[in-house]
A and B are shown apart, each in its own frame.
Chain A
Amino acid sequence: MKQEEKKISRGYDNELRMEFDAVSCNESFARMAVSAFIAPLNPTMEEMADVKTAVSEAVTNAIIHGYGNVQGYIPGHMQCPREISVGKVRMYCRIEGDVLAVEIEDDGQGIDNVEQALEPLFTTKPELERSGMGFAFMEAFMDDLQILSAPGRGCKIVMEKKLGSMPWLEEDE
């Protein structure tokens, strides 16, 4: 069955595109979406955790730094402000063979100095107890990380990871 489908060559095996409000309750939603999307590739538990963490970091950055929505937010909750910056975060996932590509994009304030932002422990929001580890985790848990950003021009994170260890490799562990 899979073989037949592959004959329709479109350059990828599966694709997901979504857009959601830049509010904190959508961080877990983005993680769940990406886990469900990669589940058919039979990723190991560790790979699953890696991808979820990397996506969580990128989405949280878009919400906190891109749009400045720093507070926890639950829709319809009395204590949550109705007036928040209404930015959108876009997530795009693609499976090609056994490789997952994920892009997380916002139209927020962008990054002044990408090289500096990448340094572990560097944060522009220490007062919010951000630890400056987000990019370090994305780098550690994914095979490839690219950051496309400029001040006032939003931010796009492009990550890749090979998934699904071979069965005989798993037995070795």
Chain B
Amino acid sequence: MEADFQVIDNYLMVKMPAEIDHHQSGAISRKADSFLLRDSIQGIVFDFEDTKFMDSSGVGIIMGRYKKISCLGGRIFAIHADRQIRRILYISGLSKIVEIME
């Protein structure tokens, strides 16, 4: 399953795949960046509804996108993050820059 991208009201919605590891992370980052360049994106929403696994490669995706949009005041959100994904976000310190929502 591949990640799915959609722009709604200047927010880039990224539906993350079932498994996020190094195998896929490069492609997700590149695709996300192509939207950041094209549209005037104010924020990115990472949707983890379908995600059953994520390792540090997912942290790299989020951190990398944060570096790109934060200087322009962009914000990052995480929705539908299960318990394990939340733990990853907290341990990595990403919870400080990502707004975790239900």
Residues of A within 8 A of B (CB): 24-25, 27-28, 31, 46, 49, 52-53, 56-57, 60, 63-64, 71-73, 120, 128-131, 133-134, 136-137, 140
Contact = CB atoms under 8 A, between A and B. Distances in A.
B56 interface: yes
Given A24-B21, A72-B27, 17 more contacts: A31-B53, A49-B84, A53-B53, A53-B84, A53-B88, A57-B55, A60-B22, A60-B55, A63-B22, A64-B22, A72-B26, A128-B26, A129-B25, A129-B63, A131-B56, A134-B55, A137-B91
Interface of B: 19, 21-27, 29, 53, 55-57, 59-61, 63-64, 83-84, 87-88, 91-93
A63 B92 CA distance: 22
B23 A129 contact: no
Query: Taking chain A's interface residues, is the majority helix, strand, or loop, or is none over half, making it mixed?
Result: helix
B21 A130 contact: no
B14 to A, nearest CB: 15
Contacts of B23: 24-25, 27-28, 72-73
B92 A60 contact: no
A72 B17 CA distance: 15
Contacts of B88: 53, 137
A31 B26 CA distance: 19
Nearest to B60: A129
B24 A130 contact: no
